[in-house]
Chains A and B, each alone.
Chain A
Amino acid sequence: MSPLTFNIIRQSTQRSAARRGTVVMSNQASTTSGDREPIIPDRTVAVSPKKRMIETPGCFMYSVKGSVPHFTPDTLRQQELGGVSVSIEHMLQDHQPAGFDKWSFSLSKFLNLQDFILFCDVRDTSRYFRVPINTDRYISMMTHQGVRQLTLEEYLKIVRAYAPDIMATFTDSISDLELTEQGKLLGSSTGQKRVRKSVDRSLKWLDQILKERQGIDTLAEDRVKGQARKKTVGEHQTSHTTNATAANSNDIVNEAISTATTTTTAKAWTDVSVFAHVGGAQIEQERIRSAEETAKRQGVDGFIVDTLTLPGTKDEVLNLLKISLDHLPSEKPRLVYGMQTPEDVLKSIALGADIFDTSYPFQLTEGGKASLYSFGPSSPLSTSSSKRWINLWDEEHADKFVPLLDGCECYACKGGRHTRAYINHLLKAHEMLATVLLMSHNMHQYSKFFENVRQSIQDGTFEQYSDSFMEQFGTEPERTGEIHQAQAAVEAALLRRNRLDVLDDIENAASLDKAKATAAAEEIKRQKMQMREARRAKMKEEGLKRKLQHDLIKQQRLNQEIESKGQEEN
């Protein structure tokens, strides 16, 4: 029995599939890791237990390296949201995820998130970083140290050690880059083949995950098969012989499998709920197949539709989302990636989506913006305002001693404590409190938005208010990558400031005794080194992009080779 339950409180009776519900964890967050006995005493202070719940439509808080950006544990708890999502690719430190090998507690304890529902996926859930394609053995991901491959076996090890509340399945997602690299693949036979393969792979991985969760070792077969194949491919290349070695390699593989299947079963980890990715790229029948096949599996607790990799206009993408959602059973929650702006969220909710993430308020914050939008009748602003946000970099706010939004109850605005003028000052002074306050406001407004949406579904006014929201606020302007003028000025001044910083440090250094002055000088040196390294890393990244495309083509060739060999073998 999974500890996760999804209750639908109200289904919209009007012209949409919107529904209101709750995702509730019946257990306490796991504190111990699935595999190991605690070897060190637990030193962190327990957070007071509360009911762990996400009201839907709602969202997971997006995190970077396991921290919701700009929030310390106390400021995080000023938010009303009940879940956090963590991406494994962020957690990778050197070659292992942080705290993975020696830490004997769960990830939620490591991140001090025991009072939240913790969701784990491999890739970043809000942005898609292009990586070389996946294979039967592994998927690629983008870490701080560059592209890395992760096998299902490694992922499951991580999941068992981390023991999150909910894990996403391993999935072979295809980016449009992959498709265009192969040449206009939309509708072409190779493209369809690739998509079909991705659906098959994801389903196979799903089956393995579900079995593994019951304590059945399904990976042993893969393991030896992989090793055997590697061996035979190697022989193949060196011996140049054909039929004899092919038959021989088959024998080796079969033999290996027969020994592998006798492997003992591992420990079950049924406390981890499984959300399954459904895919199918932009091919309708594959999307339907993926959804229907995934839905057939016993033990799937929810579904994920990732729209980040889907090409096309917003309407096309929404249509692809609809195809998936229409073929999923309604009694389980649906998590959607890539639908982040309020209007996209509303459209997705109307299609039957339940859970999103908070990357939208994060992005607003990074751009120096503060939310003004609101949903439903309780709008604190007069209905005449159609601004969804204001940009605090704008000089017009420099003397506005008013809250970001009148009547807002967030930490920054409450009681009129922090003003637009102050935040404008903090941004220009490049002070980190700016993003802390903006994030606090934007997150609060985003969760308020969801709260109002839930109420409207309850009241049967969701469709009506959705329409008026679109009318009032239109759609989010495309992000052009353009930086606000004032921001650009500060960035430019930063170069100068870096010099000033050094002076500043010297000022400080001068006030210290000799030994410490040297330490400070070393710190400056280190800082300079870091700057140099950052520049180098940037150059490297650009080089990496080029290399990526190159690798991609190489990888595909290799894949085709392996495939054709596989066909020969059969």
Chain B
Amino acid sequence: MKSALKWEVLAKCSTTKARAAVLTLPHGPVNAPVFMPVGTQGTLKGLTPDQIKDLGCQIMLNNTYHLGLRPGQELLDKCGGAHLFQGWNRNLLTDSGGFQMVSLLKLAEITEDGVQFESPHDGSLMLLTPEHSMSLQNSIGADIMMQLDDVVSSLTTGPRVEEAMWRSIRWLDRCIKAHKKPETQNLFAIIQGGLDPELRKKCIEEMLKRDTPGYAIGGLSGGEEKDKFWRVVTLCTDLMPREKPIYCMGVGYAEDLVVCVALGVDMFDCVFPTRTARFGNALTATGTLSLRQAKFRDDFRPIEEDCDCVTCKSYTRAYLYTLVTKETVGCHLVSIHNTAYQLRLMRQVRQSVIEDRFPQFIHKFFKDLFKEKDAYPKWAVNALKSVNVDLLAGEES
């Protein structure tokens, strides 16, 4: 199908499957691997578009479900799309809306037609079809839009997983057909198939025939064991064409990002950094600081010494201690830092791939974060071992 993106791989890690690339989208270039902050309702938790831009963010997420409810499709059309609506002239990615239906609304029922759910406003039954999702996402005008997929919990086993996989393929066909702006918006397919390697293989085989501009690994991050999670990820990246971007949905913890990049993933998103900021938790290379704790009362260091975000340049932990969870500014300040942290981490990852010292970076990253080798998550050790990085065997220099 048509594509409105350009994918140029700049460098490949000589040890792992990591790669550094430039993804050029209608609203400008995106340096991959990339973490995309989530601006659910057309705004990233109190940050102005200029602040987001200043942090070096090139692509942000919006949620189709939320924007479809408010401001609604009619207003989005009237205004000319979500970019104009929120004053953001860089790239946007929207999900299909299906995930929220399933996760937020208990009464969602999935039929061949689409996802049936109860309206949160008046309780009436509504139906989200692949056609409707495409229509909404066309109105939003996101640079990357996601197909509506049949989401099942990754803990589900049996024939339901296979049914969902085949249905997602049928829905992809309907999405491709209903997509009205393939010249300006890129439709990504979502690979389903649960934890079953055979189903995943089959799904990838079918979806590759549709030749969408990019692919996402779906149906994960649903509470499955991490050791199973990474095996599916690595299987998918192995089977996927190397000339297309690969997006792993809902992944955002620092160690998950680093491991998944090593497994060959290019794009990530997660609400975690901004959500945890609202509870006063600041992310750093050596772990999370819970700024509400009294031990920060007289701690006159910035959140992170080398961070160049406006929060770290302006305030001490002691002052943030007085603000977090009490003033909106406290929220904004920690959100700024956490977003800066995530984006910087990805920049560092990318740079190390370009300079072909990613394995060394991984060693240092895990040492900084977990301090002791005993504390390294086992799944991460296993996953990295599969791409020739042995975390437990002495440091590479």
Interface of A with B (CB < 8 Å)?
40, 43-45, 64-67, 69-75, 91, 93-94, 98-99, 101-103, 110-112, 144, 398-399, 401, 411, 417-419, 421-422, 425-426, 428-429, 431-433, 435-437, 500, 503-504, 506-508, 510-514, 516-517, 523, 526-527, 530
Contacts and interface: CB of A to CB of B under 8 A. Distances in A.
Contact of B87 (A67, A73, A418): A418
Contacts of A435: 328
Nearest to A94: B297
Nearest to B89: A417
A54 B51 CA distance: 28
B297 to A, nearest CB: 7
A431 B41 contact: yes
A75 B48 contact: yes
Contacts of B210: none
B226 A513 contact: yes
Contacts of B301: 43
Given A67-B329, A401-B78, A511-B223, A527 B104 contact: no
A514 B223 contact: yes
B334 to A, nearest CB: 11
B318 A69 contact: no
Interface string B276-319: 10010000000000000000011011100100001101111011
A401 B50 CA distance: 20
Given A433-B43, A511-B221, A70 B328 contact: yes
B328 A511 contact: no
Nearest to A497: B120
15 contacts: A44-B315, A69-B329, A72-B311, A99-B318, A110-B316, A417-B87, A425-B85, A429-B41, A429-B43, A431-B43, A432-B46, A437-B48, A508-B271, A510-B223, A513-B223
B323 A103 contact: no
A507 B85 contact: no
Contacts of B99: 507
Interface in B327-364: 327-329, 331-333, 336
Contacts of A144: 326
A547 B85 CA distance: 50
A437 B301 CA distance: 30
Contacts of A421: 71, 75, 79, 85
A43 to B, nearest CB: 6
B70 A429 contact: yes
A59 to B, nearest CB: 20
A91 B319 CA distance: 10
A335 B79 CA distance: 46
Contacts, number: 168
B45 interface: yes
Contacts of B41: 425-426, 429, 431
A148 to B, nearest CB: 16
A102 B298 contact: yes
B154 to A, nearest CB: 9
A70 B330 CA distance: 9
Given A431-B42, A503-B103, A530-B325, 5 more contacts: A93-B322, A98-B322, A103-B318, A399-B78, A433-B48
Nearest to B87: A417
Contact of B279 (A91, A437, A506, A527): A527
Contacts of B48: 75, 411, 433, 436-437
Interface residues of B, number: 65
Given A102-B298, A425-B70, A71 B104 contact: no
A64 B327 contact: yes
Interface of B: 41-43, 45-51, 54, 66, 70-71, 75, 78-79, 85-87, 99-100, 103-104, 120, 153, 221-223, 225-226, 229, 250, 253, 271-272, 275-276, 279, 297-298, 300-302, 305, 310-311, 313-316, 318-319, 321-323, 325-329, 331-333, 336
Nearest to A434: B43
Contacts of B70: 425, 428-429
Contacts of A418: 87
Most chain B beta-carbon neighbours within 10 Å: one of A66, A67, A71 = A67
Nearest to B224: A513
A489 to B, nearest CB: 11
A380 to B, nearest CB: 21
Given A433-B43, A436-B332, A503-B104, A516 B297 contact: no
Contacts of B333: 72
Contacts of A428: 70
Contacts of B318: 98-99, 102-103, 110
A102 B300 contact: yes
A436 B79 contact: no
A246 B213 CA distance: 95
Main secondary structure on chain B at its contact with chain A? Answer: helix
A514 B223 CA distance: 7
A341 to B, nearest CB: 24
Contacts of A514: 223
A484 to B, nearest CB: 17
Contacts of A69: 327-329
A516 B223 CA distance: 10
B279 A72 contact: no
B319 A99 contact: yes
Contacts of A433: 43, 45-48
Query: Lowest 4 A-B CB distances belong to which pairs?
Result: A432-B46, A507-B103, A511-B221, A112-B314
Contact of B297 (A93, A111, A417, A422): A93
Contacts of A398: 71, 75
A70 B223 contact: no
Contacts of A503: 103-104
Contacts of B298: 99, 101-103
Contact of A72 (B276, B319, B336): B336
B316 A44 contact: yes
Given A429-B70, A511-B250, A74 B51 contact: yes
B221 A512 contact: yes
Contacts of B300: 40, 43, 99, 102-103
A81 to B, nearest CB: 17
A426 B87 CA distance: 13
Contact of B332 (A72, A99, A511): A72
Contacts of B71: 398, 421, 425
A63 B250 CA distance: 38
Contacts of B297: 93-94, 98
A417 B311 CA distance: 25
Most chain B beta-carbon neighbours within 10 Å: one of A66, A401, A512, A523 = A512
Contacts of A44: 302, 313-316
Contacts of B226: 513
B332 to A, nearest CB: 5
A381 B314 CA distance: 38
A524 B279 CA distance: 10
A510 B329 contact: no
B326 A65 contact: yes
A503 B66 CA distance: 15
A110 B51 contact: no
B130 to A, nearest CB: 22
A72 B327 CA distance: 11
Nearest to B313: A45
Nearest to A437: B48
B75 A43 contact: no
B196 to A, nearest CB: 19
Contacts of B103: 503, 506-507, 510
Contact of A436 (B46, B225, B276, B325): B46
A98 B319 contact: yes
A317 B324 CA distance: 38
Contacts of A99: 298, 300, 316, 318-319
A431 B79 CA distance: 20
Contacts of B75: 398-399, 421
Contacts of A103: 298, 300, 318
Nearest to A526: B279
B313 A70 contact: no
A417 B319 CA distance: 32
A252 B217 CA distance: 84
